[in-house]
Amino acid sequence: MRELQAARRAPLNPSPPADATGPDPDGVGTDETGSQGPDPAGVAAPVEHRLRLWPLFCSIALLGLALDVVTKVFAVQKLEPDVPVPFIGRLVTLHLIRNPGAAFSQGEGFTWVFAVAAVLVLAFVLVRLVPKLGHVGWAVALGLLVAGVSGNLADRLFREPGPFRGHVVDFLQLPHWPIFNVADMCITTAAVMVVVLSLLRNVGIDGRRPGADADRAASPDAPTSA
């Protein structure tokens, strides 16, 4: 009789024990403390995308730096200082000079200041910006920026008259334009790309569009949580 009475009082749908494990019907995993968290696959996707952009950034930076170094070595070996040599008609002239200033011969007399600034810029880009890369355009822009800054910094560190005082090799000249080098071209192109990406296209370094995300969140068709 006692066993029959106990059977009648038993619930028809017994709940599983608290420590039972099994697939989560909502697709949300739980940790050891029982708290729910996001699916790891949702976090791994953007991280994997960023990892794929790092080789592109490194390739652009190394290729730009190598091209700058090779062309400067060629200019120093083949060109006479202050002797213009027509290269592409009247459009491009090879004109070797030694520049103690910044890009396009600006700021002469402050060589060591530009050298220190270049070191700080490189550190900021490599430590703070590159780990956030999430967009192809930004990977190219930062790669060009690192290539240009590194190319001119190498001249200031290793060329005469001494470390942090070395003169940058410039040898490319356009009509009505200051003499420049490949590193200056990389820096200028990077600056244009940064303006286009950040101001005109409103794309962050991580690939997000802040304005578009805000509009999507404010849309009446946007899903709301209960």
- Asked if 92 contacts 84 with a C-beta cutoff of 8 angstroms, the reply is no
CA proximity to 61, closest of 190, 169, 177: 190
> What are the backbone dihedrals phi and psi of residue 153, each rounded to the nearest 5 degrees, phi first?
-65, -40
Q: Is the dihedral of CA 113, 116, 122, 128 positive or negative?
A: negative
Other CB atoms within a 10 A radius of the CB of residue 220 amount to 5
Q: Helix, strand or coil for residue 20?
A: coil
Q: Which residues are catalytic?
A: 170, 184
Q: Helix, strand or coil for residue 203?
A: coil
- Asked if 205 contacts 128 with a C-beta cutoff of 8 angstroms, the reply is no
